[in-house]
Amino acid sequence: MRDPRYDILFTPLKIGPVTAKNRFFQVPHCNGMGHAMPLAHAAMRETKAEGGWAVVSTEECEIHPSGDLTPYVEARLWDDRDIPALALMCDKVHAHGALAALELSHNGPTASNLYSREVLLAPSHQPSKYGYPSQARAMTLHDIREYRRWHREAAIRGKRAGMDIIYVYAAHDLSLAMHFLQRRRNQRSDEYGGSLENRVRLLREVLQDTKDAVGDTCAVALRFATEELLGPGGVELAEAKEIVGMLAELPDLWDVNLAAWYNDSVPSRFASEGAQEPFIDFVKQTTSKPVVGVGRFTSPDTMVSQLKRGVLDMIGCARPSIADPFLPRKIEEGRIDDIRECIGCNICVSGDMTISPIRCTQNPTMGEEWRKGWHPERIAPKRSPSRVLVVGAGPAGLEAARALGQRGYEVSLAEARRELGGRVTREARLPGLAEWARVRDWRVGQIHKLSNIAVYLDSALTAQDVLDFGAEHVVLATGCHWRRDGYGRSQGFAIPGFVDNPRVFTPDDLMDGRLPEGRVVVFDDDGFYYGSVAAEMLRLRGCEVVHLTPDDSIAPWSLHTLDYRHIRKRMAELGIEAMVSQDIIGFDGTTLTVEDVWTHQRHELGCDAVIAVTARVPDDALYQELLRREAEWSAAGVRSLRCIGDAEAPGLIAHAVYAGHRYARELEEPTAGEVAFKRHFHTAHADDLRREPQAREPS
């Protein structure tokens, strides 16, 4: 039963000509599938609707070839041939009583046109945003009229596809409608440039065009960034307040946030739940129309507070809806402790950035709804009364045990340490990573609800222990450890002076409380978050810290998770020195020999300690021993042995959780063949998207 405190979250809300059944709004978010994988995209959005979201939105939807976003895979409505893919999504969403929303966009100078080869368009002549060696040309008045026509026609196509809400997009520094607002991008001297009234003109026209075209049956939403944190060159809060005042009653819904994307979807390391409130709380005081906003909301109490205090009318979520598509339903059913809370790691963002299907650390089924038929709440029952022994209770082992228990297997989970969580527990103690403990907490909570899972702490098992245990299936999730010899991406061998040097530390040492003092060099050959977290931790303890990396930038992979700018800012604020394109050649205990990776010039760098953030080694000794004793399996009753997660191949926490879930899903199930998931095959007929491919009879 629902707690009455949360009743307000389940009151309907009228948005123009349509009505949302509750206050949960999945705002537009990218997913790496888009127009290229419409069946997978539709299934993912359907899961959100099934989970209780009142509104389920697309990602950016290209309206014309001159706004082509290749290589990124977004939605597309260039012409009528694109309608079936989005119609499929609408049908799936509507089947669960939710509204479907479409975010129309033309990205102007932030597009690429690598596929279409059209010339980029912009308010004024300017370089393309993302480093492509090209420029956008200034739009003529004819171009502006054409852009308005493209947007109007795309809105009509969206209506034909079955969309209930059509967005006008003026956010994230990713649309012409916003670019015309920005002084740094709009340097026109005609009626579309100069004064704020002139810079708002195009946005007003497009809003009115859209309402005229589809407003009889579709609500028109405006997604608007109230602040860019760039100073006078960007949209500033004071100016945003004027803009909202000018357009207050024109859209049917205001969707407000920060720009750019890295300021909107800030990782949890750098922003807490509801962090956008100071930048958006004025909107609802300015308009009578409903307002939706985001803040990585996971707490129902925080959601209620947002509504009751008049900050928002609807709770907007992207990342929390990815971590738990059933978040609204769980609140409605009084299952608050079953919510799989977002940890703010932004691995979901990396799908779009790497042009691959979306994934999630907390929710391993995300992106696999159609490909593998995985559902976030349902799983096939066990095939036999077999018992399963899971060795290791890190993210892979916890997820394997939980999902196996959900299937009904008798599971024994053995952990060598006196606490559960493995690397998650240890990493969550590092600066800014506390919310990552949610990976452990949710799984432990679910395990404790299942009577068929037995947990054994302080239980380091030998190969003989495993054989004597009597389980038919054994899965080893024993984790990994960091190398301290310097071997990594840039070093194919150990660095002279690292091996057995007491002044060489690893992230494991830091997590175990063995900390250096004095002047410390963090040698980051990993390229993601570990190096900067280690540097921050030591600097906060009073060490003088140098962050040194063979890469040409600090933490380059963090660009895929929107961490990069925040990492660099944090390092600058803390006074952490950054040295890029530098490799370590040797260490004598007090002096590093450092080599420039391009010129090969060498110099010496004095320090008291080095943190080697390089590569990891699987802790697979138990697995290897059991493989050597395979002849004994049958007598011991062991039918299968697997090694998963970091013990198989060290990776992200998301990889470990996925590995555990996959093992549980596939145990005793028929093999799917060489390709273990469905793929999209394009046909000559767009209508084929509406049905599954049919097998042909042999000729």
How many other CB atoms are found less than 10 A from the CB of residue 209?
18
Active-site position among 82, 164, 264, 313: 264
Active-site position among 41, 64, 151, 172: 172
How many other CB atoms are found less than 10 A from the CB of residue 68?
22
Q: In sequence order, which residues have a C-beta less than 8 Å from that of residue 395 and are 6 or more positions away?
A: 421, 422, 423, 424, 439, 440, 443, 645, 653, 656, 657, 660
**Cβ atoms of 200 and 245 closer than 8 Å:** no
Distance CA 251, CA 223 (A): 10
Active-site position among 30, 90, 348, 543: 30
Establish whether 348 is a catalytic residue. no
* Tokens encoding 280: 């958006």
β-bridge pairing 121-122 and 135-138: parallel
Establish whether 264 is a catalytic residue. yes
β-bridge pairing 135-138 and 126-127: antiparallel
- What is Dmax (Cα atoms) for the chain? 86
Q: Which residue has the tokens 């990552």?
A: 436
β-bridge pairing 453-456 and 602-606: unpaired
Beta strand residue intervals within 573-671, DSSP E: 577-579, 582-587, 591-596, 602-606, 609-613, 616-618, 640-643
Beta strand residue intervals within 417-536, DSSP E: 453-456, 473-476, 480-482, 504-505, 519-524
Backbone angles phi, psi at 641, to 5 degrees: -135, 130
DSSP 47: H
- Of 405, 392, 408, 388, nearest to 472 by C-alpha is 388
Active-site position among 169, 192, 487, 530: 169
- Of 519, 540, 490, 488, nearest to 610 by C-alpha is 519
Establish whether 172 is a catalytic residue. yes
Q: Residue 585 in 3-state DSSP?
A: strand
Find the helix or strand (DSSP H, E) in which 322 lies. Answer: helix 319-323
CA distances from 670 to 276, 338, 619 (A): 48, 30, 29
Establish whether 90 is a catalytic residue. no
**Cβ atoms of 414 and 461 closer than 8 Å:** yes
Q: What is the DSSP string of 161-213?
A: HT-SEEEEEE-TT-SHHHHTT-TTT----STTSSSHHHHHHHHHHHHHHHHHH
Q: What is the dihedral of CA 77, 81, 85, 88, to 10 degrees?
A: 120
* Tokens encoding 256: 């407000």
Q: Which residues does the annotation mark as catalytic? A: 30, 169, 172, 264
